[in-house]
């Protein structure tokens, strides 16, 4: 049975560590490896890590101090018997592969367990996937095999292995069966994170919001960097100049809502400045920058508290720029 948290925004406080459980990790990529290391540090041994290639498997096994196996993401049935048995005997299975592979991996795992020589029963076992967009429904083949299933998605950007535990203080979205959610909360708590539960019907919208706040923010900053390079600065120097501004904006949002934290041209309603911005962007033929400037400018106007008459004038200016420069 899937359940929603009565208070999805509740922060989970650290508690005593739960009983340690061995974990089978499918997909020790950036996220999978970071999560595996954090769980290992928390006392949960990684029984086996299954990667797509030997090149990925060997360093992951060394860092996780675990057995490893290499096989195509959709070919778990080709694992050697010893590897299949380690998966079959692990109380917790974590699937941290790309989203597109998860449904098939669930079927492969079910078939692997059907054909396993292990006496371990699936009842009382838990399976997680780490997708932010997919619900736990993709794990139904394993539910029918007796697993409790949930999705466990960290709201954190992991682009490399420079942090020993990047999850400390971060938030995880959980969705799925009541027992799996309970276990997931415990695991998150043990690695220093916080958790909240979301309804399956809202999972895609939740993930779209996360994409807006992180990957799309990176893309927006890249657009700003490109604009700065047109001013004669190198990309590296542009980042150095912009990052303190970005950090100050984030710091403002720690203590204020977006309406209060908004600063700059659209908050003040500087019509002449908007005209200069649009002309400068158009003159450099920065199409992506113009689209972003118009779209986000319109939203900034909605947040601002300038008179409605001035808002309408600026909105008309933005719409005209869109029609003139983006619909040729």
As a whole number of angstroms, the distance between CA 252 and CA 169 comes to 19
Full-model pTM = 0.85
pLDDT at 200 over 60: yes
The residues of the chain that CATH labels 3.40.50.720 are 23-200
Q: Model confidence over 19-36: pLDDT tens digits?
A: 678 999 999 999 999 999
Q: What percent of the chain has pLDDT above 90?
A: 75
- Annotate 7-45 with b (16+ C-beta within 10 A) or e (fewer): eeeeeeeeeeebeebebbbbbbbebbbbbbbbbbebebe
Q: What percent of the chain has pLDDT above 70?
A: 88
CATH of 23-200, one of 1.20.120.330, 3.40.50.360, 3.40.50.720, 3.90.78.10: 3.40.50.720
113 — pLDDT class (breaks 50, 70, 90): confident
Q: Provide mean pLDDT across the span 146-164.
A: 83
Q: Identify which of 142, 149, 150, 188 has the alpha carbon closest to the alpha carbon of residue 169.
A: 188
What per-residue confidence (pLDDT) applies to 129?
98
pLDDT at 3 over 50: no
Q: Provide mean pLDDT across the span 38-65.
A: 92
């Amino acid at each position: 049975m899937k359940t929603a948290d009565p208070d999805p925004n509740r922060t989970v406080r650290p508690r005593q560590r739960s009983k340690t459980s061995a974990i089978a990790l499918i997909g020790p990529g950036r996220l999978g490896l970071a999560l595996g290391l954090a769980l290992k540090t928390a006392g949960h041994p990684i029984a086996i890590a299954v990667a797509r290639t030997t090149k990925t498997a060997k360093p992951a096994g060394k860092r996780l101090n675990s057995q490893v196996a290499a096989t195509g993401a959709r070919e778990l049935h080709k694992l050697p018997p010893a590897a299949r048995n380690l998966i079959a005997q692990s109380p917790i299975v974590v699937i941290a592969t790309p989203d597109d592979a998860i449904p098939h991996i669930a079927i492969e795992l079910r078939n692997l367990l059907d054909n396993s020589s292990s006496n371990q029963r699936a009842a009382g076992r838990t399976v997680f996937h780490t997708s932010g967009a997919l619900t736990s429904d993709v794990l139904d083949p394993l539910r029918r095999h007796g697993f409790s299933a949930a999705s466990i998605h960290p709201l954190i950007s992991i682009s490399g292995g420079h942090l020993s535990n990047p999850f400390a203080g971060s938030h995880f979205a959980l969705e799925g069966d009541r027992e799996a959610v309970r276990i997931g909360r415990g695991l998150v708590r043990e690695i220093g994170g916080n958790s909240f539960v979301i309804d399956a019907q809202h999972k895609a919208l939740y993930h779209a919001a996360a994409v807006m706040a992180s990957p799309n923010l990176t893309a927006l900053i890249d657009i700003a960097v490109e604009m700065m390079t047109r001013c004669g600065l190198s990309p590296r120097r542009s980042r150095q100049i912009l990052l303190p501004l970005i950090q100050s904006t984030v710091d403002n949002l720690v203590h204020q809502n977006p309406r209060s934290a908004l600063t700059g041209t659209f908050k003040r309603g500087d019509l002449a400045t908007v005209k200069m911005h649009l002309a400068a962007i158009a003159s450099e033929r920065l199409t992506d920058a113009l689209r972003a400037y118009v779209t986000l400018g319109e939203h900034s106007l909605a947040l601002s508290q300038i008179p409605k008459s001035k808002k309408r004038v600026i909105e008309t200016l933005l719409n005209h720029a869109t029609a003139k420069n983006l619909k040729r």
